[in-house]
Structure 1
Amino acid sequence: MTTPSMEQRLQQMEQEEQELWFPTFTNDTALELGFAIVEEAKRNGQGITVEVTRKGQRLFLHAMEGTSAENEDWIRRKNNAANYFGRSSWHIACRLHSEGTTMEEKHGLPLADYVGAGGAFPLLVRGEGQIGTVTVSGLPDQEDHDLLVAVLRRFLLQF
C-alpha cells in the first residue's frame, strides 16, 4: 500500500470537512459522541483525553488512564486553531507544513495558544455552520485525527 501524497491528504481532509456535518447537535449528542470516541479508543487499546465543546461551553470531557493534564493543554491549543481557521487542526498542520511555514510565521498566532497538530475537528451543523469542536489528545497526530474521523463517520450514520 502506498502512502498518500501531501496533496492527496489535504484533499481528503477537505472532503471530510465538507461531509461530516450534523443535522442537529444537542448536549445529549455531545455526551453520546464523547462516549463513542472513548469506546473506540478502548477497543483499540488507546489512552486519550476527549473534549466536546459547543459555543465555548465544554459539554464533555474524559481523560482515560495514562493521560495527563498536558493532554488538556494540547486540546485547548488544538481547539483554538480549529476555531480560528474553521478546519481540522491536522488539516491546518499539514497545509502549513506543505507551505514550509508555521502558524506563528504565517498568521502571528503564538504557539503557547495555537498548535497545528492532529486531533481537533470542527463541529459542523447544517444551517448553523461551526458551533464548536470535538478533540482528542494522546496519540500521534495522524492517529488522533483518524480516530476522530472514523468515529464521526459511524456516528453520523444514525442521523
Structure 2
Amino acid sequence: MLNINQRLLQMEQEEQELRFETFTNDTALELGLEIVEEARRSGKRITVDITRSGQRLFLHAMEGTTVENEDWIRRKNNAVKHFGTSSWHVACRLRNEGTTMEEKHGLPLADYVGAGGAFPLIVEGEGQIGTITVSGLPDQEDHDLLISVLRRYLSK
C-alpha cells in the first residue's frame, strides 16, 4: 500500500498522463459507456457524469444509485474546477495537511467536497475543459475505477 506522499505523487503523474488529444461529444458517449460497463463487470453501482465547458455530455445513473450521487458529483466537480486536480488528489492533500477545504480555502462543504471520483478533463493544447466523474463507491474505489478506464481508453 502506498503512503500518502507516494499516493500524491502518483496522482500528479496521472493528471499529467491522462490527457486527450481531442474530445468530442462522441468521445464522451464512448468513454461514459466504457465506465458504466467496467462498473457492471465488477458488480458496482455508480453514477457517471462527463461535462465539457459547463455542458453535460453524458450522465448515467445505474440501478441502486440515488439523487445524492448527483449532488456528490456536483460538489466533486466544483473541487476539480477550483483546484485543477482530481477530487481525490485534493482530499488526500488536505487530509495530509490536517485541514479541510472550508478551513484552508473558505469553500463551503455544501458546494465543494474532497472525495474520490472526479478527474479533470484535459485536452492537449487547450488545458482543462471539463470533468469526468464517478460517484457511488468509497473514495479510493471511485478514483481507481475511473483511472483504470481512462488509462485503457487513452491507450487505444
Relative to the length of structure 1, the TM-score reads 0.98
Query: Cα distance, 1:128 vs. partner?
Result: 0.2
Distance 1:120 1:4 in 2: 20
Query: Cα distance, 1:43 vs. partner?
Result: 0.3
DSSP 3-state at the match of 1:21: coil
1:56 corresponding residue in structure 2: 54
Aligned letter for 1:28?
D
2:18 corresponding residue in structure 1: 20
2:73 corresponding residue in structure 1: 75
Distance 2:44 2:2 in 1: 24
Query: Cα distance, 1:157 vs. partner?
Result: 1.2
> Which of the numbers 95, 106, 109 marks the counterpart of 1:111?
109
Identical aligned residues as a percent: 78
Aligned letter for 1:68?
T
* 4+ residue segments displaced more than 3 Å: none
1:92 corresponding residue in structure 2: 90
Distance 1:102 1:75 in 2: 18
Query: Cα distance, 1:37 vs. partner?
Result: 0.1
1:21-79 per-position Cα deviation (integer Å, ceiling 9, x unaligned): 00000000000010000000000000000000000000000000100000000000000
1:117-157 per-position Cα deviation (integer Å, ceiling 9, x unaligned): 00000001000000000000000000000000000000001
1:128 corresponding residue in structure 2: 126
Distance 1:36 1:104 in 2: 34
* Unaligned stretches of 5+ residues in structure 2: none
DSSP 3-state at the match of 2:28: helix
> Which of the numbers 34, 37, 57 marks the counterpart of 2:35?
37
DSSP 3-state at the match of 1:65: coil
Distance 1:92 1:78 in 2: 10
Distance 2:118 2:48 in 1: 10
DSSP 3-state at the match of 2:122: strand
Q: Number of aligned pairs?
A: 156
Query: Cα distance, 1:84 vs. partner?
Result: 0.5
Distance 1:92 1:42 in 2: 27
